[in-house]
């Protein structure tokens, strides 16, 4: 473009003025060398590198010696490489979302008291065998001994024929010490006394005694127990062999069972022994009982189990008397009737709190466990199963509880622990479940109106696999397809459609369920059971003391007499019963050790600000770059963008100039009325 008269379109002139005023380099500037450098991208980069804030780059540019330049270049690239690796590690650490666990102690004037679940370890009362159904009666009765005895010398009353299960202990009669007990006892049908000189494995000699003998070779009888009006149950033993005897007060003998009795042990004449790898007989019996127990309706299972009104002698909380009305009952597949104090399952009943520490301000329970009602095949031990847990959570005493023994005071000094977790994407991946979400994850929410728990979710997941693959339900847990957790399985039960399923009772079912249990134990089942974001637990260690003391016996007698006639009869030995308190009575105390409670919280260990600070430290350490130096890099980027924009604009302007005009307007530069043509020098581009 010359400086003389020129011909331009008005629109072209306005566009050119814009680029001229904002982007075009003025060659009349006082620094022509700088203007020339700015015209080239290479020159622009060279100028920035010569004055770069990044250590090492100016040395690479200014070095005249090739060896020096190579040295600085290698050093610069090495530092950038290490910096990049360290930065990558920092970013990877950030996306692992690490957390810190913080433990704090907080004091409160009032603390929520936990839920306390108690279960008698014997699930079925012996006197209720006939009410439990024919299958249960056929499995557990008639007993191996006509009259079982409770441990420690507590004798059971005689009841209807065949209503008692065996007891493996020997009862000591009033006259004479007991004979040796046999580990293998069989029940005999009534028979007339044998001729003189014939004997059995064990005999009873007493006035007016009814004798039941085992069919054994003639010979001397060994191992006798003398007592009053006793009925004898003897073990089959060879002549001269001593079999143990079990005695109880006289009562109607059991009729012949018509079936082969089980053997709970071995004796000296045993011809068959259990081989390694064979299923334990007791385990098989317990499994059969569980299958039969599941078939019973809920009302029947509650009826034949131990009643809390019978078990409770005394109950106080915070010094105020409580009763069975303060407990919520549910039925457990292993322990039968279980009772929860302060369960929180009913939202209309307020949750109990404690404002003082110590045993006087907690829960105190004196209980009678009814050992005379125990069934030896179901209960190897005597006592109560206890679980301490938070409100509105399902109790699983078979997994999380502990036993307390009769004859002792068991004290549990607790501390409340509150756990707070971080949700996804942090490692805990916890979730706060609504009631509807909980019903989908845990079948116990629908059945008992409890909150979600990981244990309940895992058991529900296990049951889902059993239902879908075995086409039956494990009787240990609910399995109705009408429940929300299982309703979607109606169209996917072993490849078929079904509206309901039966409990798993057949051998094929047992084999299928055993396979699911193995996979469950090996963590091969796909169960989505996240943790809850807020959990409450109670930690503590039980302590024991002998109870009751000898000096407390008179007070205890009065308490028992006022608690109920059945307890008064037992403690005073009426109706042929003479029991030591240590065999049937126990006491439980649950209280807060202190009103301080622990808070365990997950906190973000590495947030965005920590990431930026670490990255800045790595950059500053390896290449000497700071935040202010980054602004110089930003300035360089803007200069490059400005130069590219000017080149694009100049290219478009030149292209538009070459277009043949359809109409030309001659502009006179000397005339002020005409549009003045700007005087521009020719711009050189390198």
CATH code for the domain of 539: 2.60.470.10
- Taking only the tens place, the pLDDT of each residue in 525-567 is 899 999 999 999 998 888 999 998 888 887 877 777 776 656 6
Give the residue from 605, 628, 652 where a domain finishes: 605
- Whether residues 418 and 447 fall in one domain: no
Domain residue limits at 413? 99-138+281-431+533-605
Long-range contacts of range 313-316, CB-CB < 8 Å, 24 or more positions apart?
313/366, 313/367, 313/368, 313/559, 313/560, 313/563, 313/567, 313/585, 314/364, 314/365, 314/366, 314/559, 314/563, 315/363, 315/364, 315/365, 315/366, 316/363, 316/364
What is the Cα 269 distance to its own chain's centre? 49
Give the residue from 529, 552, 573 where a domain finishes: 529
Whether 511 maps to a domain, the answer reads yes
Angle of the 553-563 helix axis to the 565-572 helix axis, nearest 10: 140
Both tokens assigned to 264: 């709970």
In this predicted structure, what is the pLDDT of residue 280?
73
- Whether residues 411 and 288 fall in one domain: yes
- Whether residues 521 and 600 fall in one domain: no
pTM metric for this prediction:
0.64
- Helix/strand/coil (H, E, C) string of 343-363? CCCCCCCCCCEECCCCHHHCE
- Whether residues 300 and 417 fall in one domain: yes
- Whether residues 525 and 553 fall in one domain: no
Please, which residues bridge with residue 552 across strands?
Answer: none
Whether 545 maps to a domain, the answer reads yes
Whether 192 maps to a domain, the answer reads no
Whether 496 maps to a domain, the answer reads yes
Do 309 and 160 touch, CB atoms closer than 8 A? no
Distance CA 621, CA 643 (A): 33
- Whether residues 555 and 437 fall in one domain: no
Angle of the 454-470 helix axis to the 507-521 helix axis, nearest 10: 140
- Whether residues 386 and 500 fall in one domain: no
- What do you get for the CA distance between the two ends of the chain, in Å? 18
Number of H helices, E strands in the chain: 19, 17
Whether 339 maps to a domain, the answer reads yes
- Comparing C-alpha atoms, which of 456, 371, 359, 454 is closest to residue 126? 371
Distance CA 371, CA 395 (A): 24
Whether 380 maps to a domain, the answer reads yes
Whether 53 maps to a domain, the answer reads no
- Comparing C-alpha atoms, which of 435, 441, 516, 433 is closest to residue 473? 516
- Whether residues 482 and 374 fall in one domain: no
- Taking only the tens place, the pLDDT of each residue in 140-195 is 876 444 444 443 333 333 333 333 333 333 333 333 333 333 333 333 333 333 43
Do 116 and 590 touch, CB atoms closer than 8 A? yes
- Whether residues 525 and 537 fall in one domain: no
Locate the DSSP E strands across 346-427.
353-354, 363-368, 384-389, 402-404, 408-420
All residue ranges of the chain with pLDDT < 70 are 1-39, 142-279, 563-581, 658-686
- Comparing C-alpha atoms, which of 663, 649, 636 is closest to residue 50? 636
Distance CA 571, CA 154 (A): 10
- Classify 581 as helix, strand or coil: helix
Whether 375 maps to a domain, the answer reads yes
Please report, for residues 330, 345, 399, the alpha-carbon distance to residue 448 in angstroms, rounded to integers and kept in the order given. Answer: 8, 7, 18
- Whether residues 424 and 380 fall in one domain: yes
Give the residue from 605, 620, 650 where a domain finishes: 605
- Whether residues 425 and 551 fall in one domain: yes
**Residues near 205 by Cβ (< 8 Å), separated by ≥ 6?**
224, 226
When divided into structural domains, the chain yields a total of: 2
- Whether residues 439 and 424 fall in one domain: no
């Amino acid at each position: 473009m010359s400086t003389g008269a020129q011909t331009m379109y008005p629109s072209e002139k306005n566009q050119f003025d814009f680029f001229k005023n904002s982007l075009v380099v003025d060659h009349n500037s006082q620094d022509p060398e700088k203007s020339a450098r700015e015209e080239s991208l290479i020159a622009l980069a060279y100028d920035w590198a010569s004055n770069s804030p990044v250590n090492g780059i100016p040395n690479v540019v200014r070095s005249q010696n090739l060896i020096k330049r190579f040295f600085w270049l290698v050093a610069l690239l090495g530092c950038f490489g290490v910096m990049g690796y360290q930065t990558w590690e920092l970013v990877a650490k950030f996306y692992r979302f690490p957390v810190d666990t913080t433990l704090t102690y907080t004091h409160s004037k009032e603390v929520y008291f936990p839920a306390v679940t108690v279960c008698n370890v014997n699930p079925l009362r012996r006197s209720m065998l006939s009410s439990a159904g024919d299958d249960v009666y056929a499995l557990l009765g008639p007993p191996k001994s006509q009259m079982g005895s409770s441990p420690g010398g507590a004798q059971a009353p005689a009841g209807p024929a065949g209503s008692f299960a065996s007891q493996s202990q020997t009862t000591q009669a009033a006259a004479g010490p007991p004979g040796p007990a046999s580990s293998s006892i069989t029940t005999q049908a009534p028979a007339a006394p044998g001729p003189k000189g014939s004997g059995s494995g064990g005999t009873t000699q007493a006035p007016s005694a009814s004798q039941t003998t085992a069919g054994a070779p003639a010979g001397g009888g060994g191992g006798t127990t003398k007592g009053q009006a006793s009925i004898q149950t003897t073990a089959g033993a060879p002549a001269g062999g001593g079999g143990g005897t079990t005695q109880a007060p006289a009562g109607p003998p059991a009729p012949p069972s018509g079936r082969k009795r089980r053997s709970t042990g071995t004796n000296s004449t045993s011809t068959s022994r259990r081989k390694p790898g064979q299923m334990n007989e007791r385990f098989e019996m317990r499994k059969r009982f569980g299958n039969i127990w599941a078939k019973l309706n809920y009302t029947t299972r509650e009826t034949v189990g131990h009643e809390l009104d019978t078990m409770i002698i005394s109950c106080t909380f915070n010094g105020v008397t409580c009763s069975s009305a303060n407990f919520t009952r549910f039925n457990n597949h292993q322990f039968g009737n279980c009772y929860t104090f302060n369960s929180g399952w009913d939202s209309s009943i307020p949750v109990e709190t404690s404002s003082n520490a110590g045993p006087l301000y907690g829960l105190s329970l004196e209980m009678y466990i009814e050992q005379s009602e125990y069934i030896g095949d179901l209960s190897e031990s005597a006592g109560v199963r206890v679980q301490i847990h938070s409100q509105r959570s399902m109790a699983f005493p078979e997994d999380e509880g502990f036993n307390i023994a009769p004859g002792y005071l068991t004290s549990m000094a607790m501390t409340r622990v509150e756990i707070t977790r971080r949700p996804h994407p942090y490692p805990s991946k916890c979730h706060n479940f609504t009631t509807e979400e909980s019903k989908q994850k845990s079948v116990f929410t629908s059945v008992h109106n409890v909150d979600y728990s990981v244990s309940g979710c895992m058991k529900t997941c296990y049951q889902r696999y059993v239902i879908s693959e075995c086409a039956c339900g494990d009787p240990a847990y609910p399995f109705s397809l009408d429940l929300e957790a299982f309703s979607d399985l109606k169209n996917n039960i072993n490849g078929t459609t079904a509206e309901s399923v039966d409990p798993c009772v057949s051998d094929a079912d047992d084999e299928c369920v055993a396979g699911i249990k193995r996979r469950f134990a090996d963590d091969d089942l796909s169960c989505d059971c996240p943790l809850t974001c807020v959990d409450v637990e109670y930690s503590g260690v039980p302590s024991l003391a002998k109870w009751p003391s000898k000096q407390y016996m008179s007070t205890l007698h009065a308490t028992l007499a006022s608690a109920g006639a059945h307890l008064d009869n037992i403690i005073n030995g009426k109706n042929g019963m003479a029991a030591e308190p240590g065999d049937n009575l126990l006491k439980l105390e649950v209280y807060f050790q202190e009103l301080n409670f622990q808070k365990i919280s997950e906190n973000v260990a590495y947030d965005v600000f920590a990431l930026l600070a670490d990255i800045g430290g790595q950059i500053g350490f390896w290449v000497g770059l700071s935040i202010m130096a980054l602004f110089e890099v930003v300035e360089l980027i803007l200069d490059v963008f400005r130069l590219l924009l000017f080149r694009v604009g100049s290219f478009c302007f030149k292209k538009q100039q070459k277009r043949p005009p359809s109409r030309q307007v001659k502009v006179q530069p000397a005339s002020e009325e005409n549009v003045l043509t700007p005087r521009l020098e020719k711009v050189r581009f390198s």
